[in-house]
Structure 1
């Protein structure tokens, strides 16, 4: 999650940071000299994660599917930490319960996962926008998934939605100079994934990824190759990919090519970058 500016003297608000990828992202912010709000629906987990990081971190209760809960959490974090410069939309429902055919779950379950994985991104972006607009190098990072490129499960559909939201938010927040990007990880070795996906991991890694190894959280927190340079100023947003093991020769600007030989890399980078206009920051 390394930013070109680094995180020194900057504040990040990371959702779903009580464990897993979000927790590792919060650690990285503090390692780089920043402050972080660890937002999670599991307050106990958030408090444990914050205690590990000392005075540079705070725990805050946040149910991303609840608009008022998000607003309260964002306001509390901005007041205590001195603003918000970076928002990381990491919270989400996932794993095997949701990796199922789209008609196999009830309407109530669809509302549940859409509320967290899709509407939750909107809630957090909306509440954080005023603080980001006044922030230092303001940016939003959304967590999508390679499942969003396959789009054949309930979970995959929601992550396809995150890809779309990334481009839409980049355009909407451009007047405030807020950059909006997304990463789309493959199989990542978080504790939850290892515990629940143990029987499926070999299939995911061998059949769906170009690099046949388990992804590490460090692949997301500090991904090896950076995204390609921003497109020309006439193009306000783009969706592309940047990943270890991706076949050479990316898609044309503004287009996303389909799977390479039916497989995905360890991580895709789907970005929607704000292009600076003359006079903008």
Structure 2
């Protein structure tokens, strides 16, 4: 399939894990991908590998918590590829996340965390939407989590915020022919999860699932490509849960 031939896509947090897999899958379907990440070494390597595999990708550094950095990524993409068609807001603090309570987490850390995990998606959307509109529209996918419906402290607060942001932006941008949706993964087997979550907790989570295994980044690709593509041209403001049946929700 080549649903994204000649389409330009920015994927934030694409230097590793789920973001890297999204970038690779989009390039495999013809997209011209900007690998955007604060980790320059890993990000450049992902772009290099995509190119070696026959795709089109370039790296640009991005601190999604900084509006000026987001604007720079957008301007670079327009200069490099002539426009912006799609955005995947995947960047987040997770593997290095502090484990603390909402009641006790240091305030400066909380603000930094939210600046990336919640405000970052808004910063990037604000940076790209006019470019998308000028090109006739586009689509955005935000990375949420089923943690939005489970006890998970400030991480869950950020993801619940992503869900609401998705719905609000879908209405604000619908008139510009820009769709905004989100994916809410369950526990996924990434380096970050292996670093952050003890094995005993992982085992407990797996037992709560209908499909009793951790997800993989590849399990999420189909949802991401669907929501970005014209296959979902009348789908906006939705949060698609991909979690092996861990949570039930309306």
For normalisation by structure 2, the TM-score amounts to 0.87
What's the Cα RMSD here? Answer: 2.7
Distance 1:245 1:151 in 2: 18
Distance 1:66 1:169 in 2: 19
Partner of 1:129: 129
Task: Give structure 1 stretches of 5+ with no counterpart.
Answer: 247-262, 271-281
Task: Give SS of 1:48's match.
Answer: helix
Quick check: which one's helix share is greater?
2
**Judging changes above 3 Å, is the alpha-carbon distance between structure 1 residues 210 and 95 closer, same or farther for their aligned structure 2 residues?**
farther
Alignment of 1:30-45 (within 5 A): 30-45=27-42
Partner of 1:203: 204
Distance 2:240 2:61 in 1: 33
Partner of 1:115: 115
Structure 1 residue 150: Cα displacement:
1.5
Partner of 1:191: 191
Query: Any conservation in 1 of the 2:34–2:57 contact (CA below 8 Å)?
Result: yes
Structure 1 residue 25: Cα displacement:
0.5
Say whether residues 1:8 and 2:9 are aligned partners.
Answer: no
Distance 1:81 1:16 in 2: 20
> Aligned residues, how many?
241
Partner of 2:144: 144
**Larger relative CO (CA 8 A, sep 6+): 1 or 2?**
2
Query: Any conservation in 1 of the 2:11–2:19 contact (CA below 8 Å)?
Result: yes
Structure 1 residue 243: Cα displacement:
4.5
Partner of 2:219: 219
For normalisation by structure 1, the TM-score amounts to 0.78
Distance 2:31 2:240 in 1: 28
Partner of 2:247: 264
Query: Any conservation in 2 of the 1:133–1:177 contact (CA below 8 Å)?
Result: yes
Query: Any conservation in 2 of the 1:99–1:155 contact (CA below 8 Å)?
Result: no
Deviation string, structure 1 residues 22-76 (Cα, Å, up to 9, x no partner): 0000001110011100000111111111111126101001000011111111111
